[in-house]
Amino acid sequence: MRQYLIKKPHGMSESEKQARIFAVLSVGTRVRILGLLKRRSLCVNALAEVLEITPAAVSQHLRVLRSAEIVIAEKRGYFVHYRVNTKTLADWRRMVCRLLRGKDRDASSAAAPKCTGRAERRRRRWPDSRCEGSKRRT
C-alpha cells in the first residue's frame, strides 16, 4: 500500500493534503463507494453486492477511505456499517476549491468561474465553456 494514502493528515502541508485527496479518489471503485455511502450507510457485503466485487476488495478500499477519514465505521450488532464523514467531505471540498481557484488574482484566475455546487452552477448558467455542464449560446 502506498504510504501517502494511509498517512494521517496531521502535520501535512496544504499541497500534500490536496495530493492525498486526489490519490484517494484516483480509483473509480472508491469514488463509487463514496457515492453509495453518501446516500445511506452500508456494510461491506452490501457494498460488495452492489459493486459486484469481493468483500475483501471492498474492505481494502474502505481501509484507504477510513485512513483518509472520509468514511466512518459504526458497529451495529454483528456488522460494521460505513458512512461518509460529512465534515471531512466539506474540508476536502474547500481544499479542492482553493486549489482550483488559485491564490493569485491575475487575469486568467480572475476570469475563472467560482467553485460552487452543481445546483448553483445550473442556476447561474455560466456562458463560459470553462464551467462544466455549460453550453455556449449562439
> What does the block give as the cell for 109?
484566475
Taking only the tens of pLDDT, the chain with its 138 residues reads 455 454 555 677 888 888 898 999 999 999 999 999 999 999 999 999 999 999 999 999 999 999 999 999 999 999 999 999 999 999 999 988 888 887 644 444 445 555 666 555 555 554 444 444 444 444
CATH number of 3-87: 1.10.10.10
11 by Cβ neighbours in 10 Å (0-12 / 13-18 / 19+) ranks as exposed
Q: pTM of the full predicted structure? A: 0.67
All structural domains of the chain with their residue ranges: 3-87, 107-138
